[in-house]
Structure 1
Amino acid sequence: MATPSNSSSVITTLGIISTLLFLSLHPTAVCYGNLGNNLPSPQNVVNLYKSNGIRAMRLFAPDQAALQSLQGSGIRIILDVPRDKLQSIGSDQNAANQWVQSNVVPFASSIKYIAVGNEVHASHQEASSVQPAMQNILNALNSNNLVGGQIKVSTAIDTTLITNSFPPSNGQFTDMSYITPIINFLTRNNSPLLVNVYPYFAYTNNKQSISLGYALFTSSSTVVTDWNNGLQYQNLFDAILDAVYAALGRAGAPNTPIVVSESGWPSDGGDAATVDNAGTYCRNLISHVKKGTPLKSGKEIEAYLFAMFDENNKQGATTEQHFGLFTANQQPKYGQLNFS
Structure 2
Amino acid sequence: MVSILLLLGLLLPAIGAQSVGVCNGRLGDNLPSEQEVVDLYRANGIGRMRIYDPNQATLQALRGSNIELILDVPTSDDLLQTLASDASAATQWVQNNVINYFPAVKFRYISVGNEVDPNSGTAQFVLPAMQNIYKAIAAAGLQDQIKVSTATYSALLPYALFTAPGVVVQDNSYQYSNLFDAMLDAMYSAVEKVGGQGLEIVVSESGWPSEGGNAATTDNASTYYRNLINHVKGGTPKKPGNAIETYLFAMFDENLKPNAETEKHFGLFYPNKQPKYQVTFN
In structure 1, the residue corresponding to 2:166 is in which secondary structure?
coil
What is the CA-CA distance between 1:123 and the residue it aligns to?
Answer: 1.7
**Residue aligning to 2:149:** 154
Q: Tell whether 2:256 aligns with 1:313.
A: yes
- Name the CA distance, whole Å, in 2 between partners of 1:313 and 1:49: 22
Which of 256, 279, 284 is equivalent to 2:227? 284
How far residue 230 of structure 1 moved from its aligned partner, in angstroms, is 2.1
Query: Is the 8 Å Cα contact of residues 266 and 320 (structure 1) preserved in structure 2?
Result: yes
Aligned to 1:29, the other structure's residue is in SS state strand
From 109, 112, 115, give the equivalent of 2:111: 115
Residue 93 of structure 1 pairs with residue 35 of structure 2:
no
Q: 1:194 maps to which residue?
A: none
Q: Match of 1:219?
A: 164
Within 2, Cα distance between the matches of 1:261 and 1:105?
23
Residue 116 of structure 1 and its aligned partner are, at CA, apart by 0.6
> How far apart are residue 254 of structure 1 and its match?
2.2
- Could you list the structure 1 runs, at least 4 aligned residues long, displaced by more than 4 angstroms after superposition: none
1:259 aligns with 2:202: yes
Amino acid at match of 1:156: A
CA distance in 2, matches of 1:107, 1:86: 22
Q: Give the distance between the partners of 2:50 and 2:241, measured in 1 at CA.
A: 25
SS in structure 2 at match of 1:311: coil
Per-residue CA deviation, residues 182-212 of structure 1 (Å, 9 max, x unaligned), is xxxxxxxxxxxxxxxxxxx53xxxxxxxxx1
Equivalent residue number for residue 44 of structure 1? 36
Q: Take 2:63 and 2:16, find their aligned partners in 1: how far apart are those partners?
A: 23
Give, in angstroms, the shift of residue 28 of structure 1.
2.5
Alignment match, 1:297:
240
| Cα distance in 2, alignment partners of residues 284 and 122 from structure 1 | 31
Tell me the residue number matched to 1:192: none
Within-5 A mapping of 1:164-179? none
**RMSD of aligned residue pairs (Cα, Å):** 1.5
Alpha-carbon offset, residue 147 of structure 1 = 1.6
Asked if 1:269 is matched to 2:208, the reply is no
Q: What is the one-letter code of the residue matched to 1:120?
A: V
> Does structure 2 retain, via aligned residues, the 8 Å contact 1:22–1:28?
no
Aligned amino acid, residue 98 of structure 1: Q
Quick one: distance in 1 between partners of 2:2 and 2:25?
Answer: 10
Could you say which residue in structure 2 is the equivalent of 1:80?
72
Letter aligned with residue 100 of structure 1? V
**Structure 1: unaligned runs, 5 residues or longer:** 6-20, 160-200, 203-211
| 3-state SS, counterpart of residue 92 of structure 2 | helix
Distance 1:66 1:40 in 2: 11
TM-superposed CA distance for 1:27, in Å, is 4.5
2:277 matches 1:331: no
Determine if contact 1:28/1:304 at 8 Å carries over to the other structure. Answer: yes
Q: Which has the higher strand share?
A: 2
CA distance in 1, matches of 2:235, 2:68: 22
Q: Which runs of 5+ in 2 are unaligned?
A: 4-12
* Structure 2 counterparts to residues 120-159 of structure 1, below 5 A: 120-148=116-144, 150-159=145-154
The secondary structure found in structure 2 opposite 1:35 is coil
Secondary structure in structure 2 of the residue aligned to 1:107:
coil
Amino acid at match of 2:64: G
Q: In the TM superposition, what is the alpha-carbon distance from 1:143 to its structure 2 partner?
A: 1.8
- The structure with the greater share of residues assigned to helix is 1
**Structure 1 residue 22: Cα displacement:** 7.4
Evaluate the alpha carbon distance shift between residue 77 and residue 22 of structure 1 in structure 2; reply closer, same or farther with a 3 A threshold.
farther
Contact 2:203–2:245 (8 Å) recurs in 1: yes
* Match 1:67 to one of 50, 53, 59: 59
Q: Partners of 2:189 and 2:135 in 1: how far apart?
A: 30
CA distance, structure 2, for counterparts of residue 245 and residue 23 of structure 1: 19
Deviations 1:228-260 (A, max 9, x none): x22110111000111101101111112300000
Is it true that 1:102 corresponds to 2:96 in the alignment?
yes
Q: Any conservation in 1 of the 2:112–2:149 contact (CA below 8 Å)?
A: yes
CA contact (8 A) 1:27 1:54 kept: no
Number of residue pairs matched by the alignment: 269
In 2, Cα distance between equivalents of 1:259 and 1:144: 24
SS in 2 for 1:301: coil
* d(CA) in 1 for partners of 2:187, 2:244: 13
Partner SS, residue 158 of structure 1: strand
